[in-house]
Structure 1
Amino acid sequence: MTKDLERDLGLFAVIAISMGAMIGSGIFILPGIAMAEAGPAVILAFVIAAILVVPAALSIAELGTAMPEAGGDYIFIERGLGPSFGTIAGLGTWLMLMLKGSLALYGGMFYIDFVYSLPTWELAVPLLESTLSIPGVRALGITFALLFIAINLIGVKQTGGIQSIMVVIMLVILGVFIAATIIQVDGANYESFFSEGLDGIFGATALVLVSYAGVTKVAAVAEEIENPGRNLPLGLLLSLIITAVIYALLVFVLVGVVDGDALTGENENVPMGVATEIVYGDAVLGGVSIGFFAVAAIVFAALLALVSTANAGILTASRYPLALSRDDLFLKKFEYIHPRFSTPFVAILTTGAIIIFIVATQEVDEIAKMAGAFQILVYILVCGALIAFRERDLEWYDPDFHTPGYPWVQLFGIASGIFIIAQMDTQEIVGSIVIVIFGFVWFKFYAEDKIDREGVAKGLARRQAGKQFVEDTEQQLADDGTYEILIPIRQDVSREQEDALIQMAAPIVSRRGGRIRVVRFDEVPDQVPLDIPAEELSETDLEFEERTDELVRYLEVPVEVGEIVSHDTRHAVVNFAERTGADLVLARREATSRLGTLFGRDTDWIMEHAPCDVVFVQHEQRIGIDEIAIVTDRSPFNDPLKVELADAMADVLGARVRFLFAVGEDAPDELTETIEDYHAELDDLCTVPVESAIVRTDDAVSGLSMELESSDVVMLSTMTHRRLPDLLIEQRSDRLAAAIEQPTMLVHSKETRRGSFLRPILERLLFE
C-alpha cells in the first residue's frame, strides 16, 4: 500500500506564505542601514532588488509545475545541473535561510529595546518601569532562538490560517501607516537624490536583496499546492509585486517624513519605530495622547513579522540538510527523525545552534549582506537549471507554466546576479566563492562515490525526475453513480473504533449498492516534508492494512483502503471527499467541550466545507442492533437524512426504527398533533417498522436520555458551532450525546446552512 500526498495549499495560502516570509527585515530593519549607503535613492534599491528576483521567481514557478516535489530550488538545481551544484545550492540555501532567520531575530529585538527606551514608556506603564529590566538585544535574540528551536523540535503545529491572519494584520497596520503618513512627506528630503551615486545604489541593492528571499520559499512545498500550474506562478508573482509596492511606498514615506540623520543614526535598526515616534509622538486625538499607542502598533507589526520570519527560518532551513542527507550528499545523521515528535532533530538542533552563533557574533548589516550573497548565488543556479531542462528537450518535462521571454530572462538573471555579487564587500564576495569551492570539494570527497546519478545538463535524467502527484486515483474514481462512504481514520483512532465505523457503514452501503473507502490520514509536523513519511511504511501502517483486510473479508460490501500524508488532516479529508465524489463522510468524534468551542473544532470546519453529508460517531458500537432511535427536530434536511440512513441500516440488520420528539410538560395538544403528523410523513420514507413517541419533559436532555436507554444506536442532528453563542449555551445535541452511552450518530446534511447566532438560544426556548 502506498501513501498519497495531500495538496491543500490554495492561491491565497501561496501568497500568504510567500509574503509572510518577505515582509520582515526588509522594511522593519534595513531601510536605515541602506539609506546610509544610497541616500534618498534607497527607494530605487528596493525596486531594483525586486526586479533582480523576477527571473528566479519565474524559473522556479516553471520548474515547480514540472516537478512538484518537496525541496524547491535545491531539487531543481540538483536535478538540472547535477549533484555537485545541488550540494552548493543546498548548502547555500541553508546558510541563507539561517542568516535571514538570524537577521529577523537580532533585528527584531531592537524594537523591544526601542520601545523600552521611549519617554512615553514610563507614562504608559508606570508600575513596570521601576521593576522591569530589558536584557541586551543579543541576549533577547538568543532567548527567542532557544524558544523557537524547542517549538520546532517538538513539532508544534503551524497552520496556513495563522500565517494568513498574521499577514493580514501586518498589511492592515502598514497600510494605515502609509495612508496616514504619506500626506506629510517633505519634498526637501528628496533633494540630492543621487548623492551617493550608482555605487551607493548597487551597494544598497545588495543589502536589501534579502528582503525578497521569501518569494521562492513556497517552492519548497510545491507538492502541497493544489493546481500548481496556476497557483504557484500566480502566487509568486502577485506576492512579489504586492510586496515590492509596499516596500517602495514605505521607503518613500520614511525618506519623506524623517531626516536622513535620524534614520541612519543610533536607531538605524528601527526605522519604522523612529518614523512613527517622530511623526506621531506628540499626536493627540480627542484630548488623549496617542503617540505611544501608534509606536506600539508599529512595533507589534514588526515583532509579528520578524518573529514569524525567525521561526519559519528555523523550520524551513532545517529541511535542507535533511534533504541533502536523504540524497546521500550530506552526513546521514541529519536524516534522523525523532520517533516521538516526528521532527528532524539533528537538522533542527544544528540549524538552531548556527543561528544562535550568528546572532551572538555578527552585526545586522553583515548578516543581511551575506544572506543576500548566498541568495543571489542560488538564484543564478536556478536560472541555469531551467536552461538545462529546456535545452535537453526531455519528453517528461512538461510544465503547466512556461517562463515568458526564455532564455533572455534567465540570462539576465545570471548576468545581473554576478554583477550584484561583484558590487558587494570583500567579505560577501569571499563568502560566495568559499561556499562554491567547499560545495565542490565536499561533493568530490564525500558524496561522489555514493551516488550514480547526474543532472540533465550531462544527459542523464534521474529516474523519473518529473514525478507526478498520485491524484488519489482520480481517474478510476470518476463518478459512476454508486453510493460511496468515506471513513477517514486518524492516527489516534483505535482498532475497535475503526471496526465500529466500518460495521456502521456496511449496511448503508449494502442497501445502496455502493462502496466504502477507508483512508488513514497521517498528519506530520510542518518541519518534515511530506515525502519522508510517504516513503516509509511503519509497523503501524502495516498493521492498519492487515487488520482492515481481515475485517473486509467478513463484510459483503466492497471496501478500498488507502493512506494520505498531509500537514492538515481536516483539509485533506475535505479535499479527498471532493475529488473522489464521496456521498457521505463517516468519522469518529470525541465528546465536545467548551474549550474546544472557543478555539474551534476540526469537525466544524469539515461540516462547513465538506461537499457531501457528514456523520460523526460518538461512543463504541454495541454488538447487535435491534433498535435505532432518531431524535427528530423538524430539520428540513437533517431529519430526512437521518431517516434514510436509519432505514438502510435497519433493513439490512433486521432492526426497527423509533422516532422521538421532546416537548414541554404543558405543551398544547396542537403541538403534539403537529409532531405526530410530522412523524407520519417521515414514516412514509421508511421501508421498515417504525414507532413514534413524544416525550413530555421540562428537561429535554434528561427526558430523552431516559427514553433512549433501550436503543442500540441513536441519531441526532448536529450543526457547526459558533464560538460565542455555543460557548454560552451548549447545543442540545452535544449535551444529549454526552448524557447517553449508546453509539450516537450526529448527522449533518450538506444542505444544512450554518447555524446562526440565535440558533442555540431559539433551540432552548422552543424545545425546553
Structure 2
Amino acid sequence: MKTLKKQIGLLGVFAICTGAMISSGLFVLPGIAAAQAGPAVIVAYLLSGLLLIPSMLSMAEMSTALPRAGGDYFFVSRSLGGMFGTIDGVGVWLALLMKTSIALLGLGAYLAVYVHLPMQVIAILAGLVFMLTNMVGAKETMRLQIAMVAGLLAILVFLVVKGAPVVEREYFTPFASEGWGSVLPTTALVFISYIGLTKVASMAEEVKNPGRNIPLGMFISLIVILGLYGTVVAVVVGIIPAEQLYKTLTPLSDAAGIAIGPVGMHLISFAAVLAFATTANAGIMSASRYLLAMSRDRVIPHAFSRFCKYKTPLNAILLTTVVILLIVSMTGLERIAKMASTFQLLVFAFVNIAVIVMRESGIKSYDPGFKSPFYPYIQIVGILVSVVLIPEMGLLSSIFAMGLVAIGVVWHNLYVRPRAEPRVGAVAKMAERLGERLLERDADAMGLRTELRQIMKERGLRSGDPFFQMVQEADFIEVGPEADSEEVIRRGADLLARQSGISRDLIFGALLERNRLGETPADAGVALPHLLLNDVEGFHMVAVRSIHGLDFPLAKQTIHAVFLLLGNRGNPTQHLRFLAEIARRAENLHFIDNWIAADSIDDLADLLLSNEE
C-alpha cells in the first residue's frame, strides 16, 4: 500500500488546527450568539473550547497510535468495526464539504465588495486555486497555510490591542442579561468554532514525528485560539452597543470601524478573507484524506486511493473539490453548517468510545506515542459532552445527523459488504477478553494486528529505546548446512539463557512450540523467533547467519538471517518496536545479500546497525 510522504512538522500541525478553527465562528457568530446570551457570550466561547478538550485528547492518542490518512474514520473502523467506520467516513466527509463550502462563500462575500464579481463566482475560483495547491503536495500547501494563519493572527491581535483601550465597561452590565440558562444553548451554537481543531488527525500519515507533533500542535493551537476568542469577543462586546451587536453579521468589522476607523474595517475584511481561505484550504486537504482512507478499505472505489506524480491523492482531491463547488452554487447554507457540527459531535463520541475499546482490547501492538491522561474518565466526559450538546443544536440538526447515519448504513450494506473484507475491529478483542464469544475470528484474522505492526514499523524507534545497546550486546553465530530451524532455536536458547539467567529449557521449549505452530514471523529471508517472559530483565538477542539457508514453517523463502529476541512481558510494546525495527532494516533489498557476503561474524552487528532503508 502506498503511503503519503511525511512533510508536515509542528508548525504545519499548528497551522492546520488554527486555520480550520478561525472562520465563521469568529467573523459571523459573535453577534448572533450575543443576542442569545448577552455579554455572557464570552463564557460560552470559552466553555465550548474547554468542552472539546476530552475529544482532543482522545483524537491525539488515536492519531499517534494509528497515523493514517482518514483520521477518525480510520480510528473508528479499526476499533468499532466496518459498519461504524462507513457511517463515520461518509458522514464526516459530507460534513466537511458543507463547512468548506460555507468558508468559500464567506470568502466570496467579503471579496465581492472589492472585485465586483458575484459571490459564487469568487468562491468557485478560490476553490479551484486551493484544489491546485493541494494537488502539488502537502509541503506546498503547508507553506500557504502557515503564511495565511500568521497574517490572520497578526491582524486579530492588532484589533485587540487597538480595541481594548476604547472598551466601555457598562456594556458588560448585566453580564448574563438573558439569564445563565442561555449560556449552554449558546455554547452549543458556537461549538462549531472549535471543531476544526481535530481535523489534523485526517493527515496524521503525513505528519513527521506524530507522537510529539500532533498532540503538541493541537494543544498549542487550542490555547492560542481560546485566548484569541476570549479577548476578541470581549473587545467586540465592549465596543459595539448591544442593539447594534445583536443584529450584525459582521461584528469584527463593525468593531474595527469604531476602534480604528475605515482602515480597520478594510484590515478586518482582509483578515476575514484569510480566515475563510485557511478553513477552505484545510477543509479540502482533510476531506480528500477521508476518501483516500475509505478507498484503501474498499468502502468506495479503489480509484480514489491513486496518487499523482506529486504523491498526493489526485482523484480524491478532484471529487472533493467538484462536490464542494456544486454546493457553493447553492445559497442558504448557514443552517447546514450547524447540522454538520451536530454529526461531528456524534463522531467525537465515537472516537472517545474507540479509545476505550482499544485500551481494553489487550492488543499489544496498540502503542500510541501519546496517551490521554485520566483514562477512562476523560473519555466518559467527552461522550457526555456530545450527549448534552447534540439536543441543544435543535431537532432539525439531530434529524440531519441521523440521516447521515442512515446513508452510511445503506451504503455499507449495498456497496461495501459485497466487496470488502469484513472488519470487526478491536471491539471483538475486547469482547473476547470479557468472555463474550461475540465473533468467531479475532483481531488477527481481521488484519488489525498486522496493520498496527506495519504502522509501528513505519514509525520506528522511540527516543530512549535501547535497541542499539541490545544489538551491541547480542551474540552473533553462524550455523552450517547441516543445521535446521530446531537446531538454530536450541543454540539460540542456550545463549539467551546465559545472557538473561532464565532457564534454557523454558526458553527453548517456548520458542520451539511457537515455531512448530507457525507463529515465528519469517519472510524475505529473515526469521524472528521471539518470546516474552515475566522474570527477564531488559532485552536480549541472538543473531544467526546461515549461508546455505534454513526452512521455517510458513516461510515462502529460504531463511538466511535469524534474530531470536527475549524480552520482559511487562513491556510488550517496546519488544514489538524492536521486532519492527529489525524487520524494517532487513527489508532493504540488499540486506540479505550483504548478510551472506559479510567476511566474518564480527561484521554482522555493524551491518545490522548501519543498514537503513
TM-score in terms of structure 1 length: 0.55
Aligned equivalent of 1:351 = 320
Aligned to 2:258: 278
Partner residue of 2:177? 195
Give the deviation of 1:255 after TM superposition. 0.8
Q: Aligned to 2:149, which of 151, 159, 167? A: 167
Q: How much has 1:477 moved relative to structure 2? A: 12
Aligned positions of 1:32-431 closer than 5 A: 32-113=31-112, 116=114, 134-152=116-134, 158-197=140-179, 200-265=182-247, 267-268=248-249, 270-281=250-261, 291-292=262-263, 294-337=264-307, 343-363=312-332, 365-431=334-400
Cα deviation, residue 431, structure 1: 0.8
Change in 2 beyond 3 A, CA 1:109/1:468: same
**Whose helix proportion is higher, 1 or 2?**
2
When residues 437 and 156 of structure 1 are mapped into structure 2, their CA distance, relative to the original with a 3 A threshold, is: closer
Describe the shift of the 1:69–1:156 C-alpha distance in structure 2 as closer, same or farther (beyond 3 A). Answer: closer
Give the conservation status (yes or no) of the 8 Å contact 1:105–1:141.
yes
Distance 1:156 1:328 in 2: 24
CA distance in 2, matches of 1:156, 1:62: 23
**Structure 2 vs 1, CA of residues 580 and 368 (structure 1 numbering), >3 Å: closer, same or farther?**
farther
SS state at 1:421 partner: helix
CA distance in 1, matches of 2:611, 2:147: 31
Return the letter of the residue paired with 1:189: Y
Work out the CA distance in 1 between the residues paired with 2:110 and 2:17. Answer: 24
**Are 2:429 and 1:470 aligned?**
no
C-alpha displacement at 1:342, in angstroms?
5.4
Equivalent AA in structure 1 for residue 82 of structure 2: P
Query: How far apart, in 2, do the equivalents of 1:306 and 1:375 lie?
Result: 20
Amino acid at match of 2:292: L
Give 1:98 deviation, angstroms.
1.3
Deviations 1:443-464 (A, max 9, x none): 1222123212211112233242
Identity of aligned residues (%): 39
Aligned counterparts of 2:470 and 2:275: Cα–Cα separation in 1: 44
Q: Would the alpha carbon gap of residues 144 and 47 (structure 1) be closer, same or farther in structure 2, given more than 3 Å must change? A: same
User: Do 2:89 and 2:294's aligned partners in 1 also have CA atoms closer than 8 Å?
Assistant: yes
Query: Cα gap change, 1:581/1:184 in structure 2, threshold over 3 Å: closer, same or farther?
Result: farther
Cα–Cα, structure 1 residues 328 and 4, in superposed 2: closer, same or farther, change >3 Å? Answer: closer
Aligned pairs, number: 463
Structure 1 gaps of 5+ residues are 117-132, 282-290, 481-544, 558-578, 583-768
2:386 counterpart letter in structure 1: G
Shift of 1:251: 0.5
Determine the C-alpha separation between the residues in 1 that align with 2:457 and 2:21: 28
Q: 1:471 to 1:378 in 2, by over 3 A?
A: closer
Find the aligned partners of 1:4 and 1:444 in 2 and give their Cα distance: 28
The residue type paired with residue 90 of structure 1 is G
Mapped partners of 1:25, 1:413: distance in 2: 24
Deviation at 1:57, TM superposition (A): 0.6
Which residue in the other structure is 1:735 paired with?
Answer: none
- Identify the structure with bigger relative contact order (alpha carbons < 8 Å, sequence gap 6+): 2
Task: Tell me how large the CA RMSD over aligned residues is.
Answer: 3.4
User: In 2, Cα distance between the equivalents of 1:330 and 1:241?
Assistant: 37
In 1, Cα distance between the equivalents of 2:329 and 2:173? 38
Q: Deviations over 1:603-654 (max 9, x none)?
A: xxxxxxxxxxxxxxxxxxxxxxxxxxxxxxxxxxxxxxxxxxxxxxxxxxxx
Any idea what the Cα deviations from partners look like across 1:419-465, whole Å, max 9, x if unmatched?
Answer: 21111122211111111122122212221232122111122332424
The Cα offsets for residues 96-149 of structure 1, whole Å up to 9 and x where unpaired, read as 221221121112233234x55xxxxxxxxxxxxxxxx61333333233224433
In structure 2, C-alpha distance between the alignment counterparts of 1:264 and 1:4, rounded to whole Å: 49
Question: How far apart, in 2, do the equivalents of 1:393 and 1:464 lie?
Answer: 15
For residue 620 of structure 1, what is the aligned residue in structure 2? none
The one-letter code matched in structure 2 to 1:382 is V
Q: Which residue of 2 aligns with 1:451?
A: 421
Deviation per CA, 1:145-177: give whole Å up to 9, x if none. Answer: 244335445669624344333322222221121
Q: CA deviation at 1:252?
A: 0.7
1:452 alignment partner AA:
P
The residue aligned with 1:14 is: 13
Is the contact made by 2:38 and 2:175 (CA closer than 8 Å) also made in structure 1?
yes
Q: By how many angstroms is 1:381 displaced?
A: 0.7
Give the gaps of 5 or more residues in structure 2: 430-441, 473-587, 600-608
Whether the 8 Å CA contact 1:7–1:224 is kept in 2: the answer is yes
Structure 1 partner of 2:23: 24
Q: Distance in 2 between matches of 1:580 and 1:56?
A: 41
Compare 379-388 and 308-317 and name the one that shifted more.
308-317
Structure 1 residues 404, 479: closer, same or farther in 2, change over 3 A? closer
CA deviation map 1:35-70 (0-9, x unaligned): 233332221221121122111110011122222333
In the alignment, the residues of structure 2 paired with residue 279 and residue 311 of structure 1 have an alpha-carbon distance, to the nearest angstrom, of 31
The 1:417–1:80 alpha-carbon spacing in structure 2 relative to 1, beyond 3 Å, is same
Pick the aligned partner of 2:402 from 433, 457, 462.
433
The answer (yes or no) to whether the contact 2:120–2:328 under 8 Å persists in 1 is yes
Match of 1:636 in 2: none
Task: For 2:460 and 2:216, locate their aligned partners in 1 and report how far apart those are by CA, in whole Å.
Answer: 25
Contact 1:206 1:373 in 2 (8 A): no
Contact 2:239–2:255 (CA<8 Å) still a contact in 1? yes
Contact 1:322 1:344 (8 Å CA) reproduced: yes
- Cα distance between partner residues in 2 of 1:316 and 1:5: 13
Q: Is the 8 A contact 2:70 2:294 kept in 1?
A: no
2:534 is matched with which residue?
none
SS of the residue 1:400 aligns to: coil
Contact 1:223 1:469 in 2 (8 A): no
Task: Please give the secondary structure, in 2, of the residue aligned with 1:320.
Answer: helix
Between the aligned partners of 1:337 and 1:279, the Cα distance in structure 2 is: 50
**Is the alpha carbon distance of 1:430 and 1:60 closer, same or farther for their aligned partners in structure 2, counting shifts above 3 Å?**
same
Structure 1 counterpart of 2:172, one-letter code? Y
Local SS of the residue matching 1:464: helix
Q: 1: CA distance between counterparts of 2:233 and 2:341?
A: 19
In structure 2, how many angstroms separate the alpha carbons of the residues matched to 1:391 and 1:471?
23
Seen in structure 2, the aligned counterparts of structure 1 residues 469 and 161 have a Cα distance that, compared at 3 Å, is farther
Distance 1:6 1:357, change over 3 A: closer
Tell me which amino acid in the other structure corresponds to 1:328: R
Decide whether the 8 Å contact of 1:99 with 1:370 is kept in 2. Answer: no
8 Å Cα contact 1:64-1:232 kept in structure 2 = yes
1-structure distance, mates of 2:215, 2:85: 23
What residue identity is the alignment partner of 1:371?
A
Q: CA deviation at 1:418?
A: 1.9
Letter in 2 for 1:302: A
Other structure's SS at 1:401 match? coil
CA distance in 1: counterparts of 2:406 and 2:118, whole angstroms: 37
What is the deviation of 1:80? 0.8
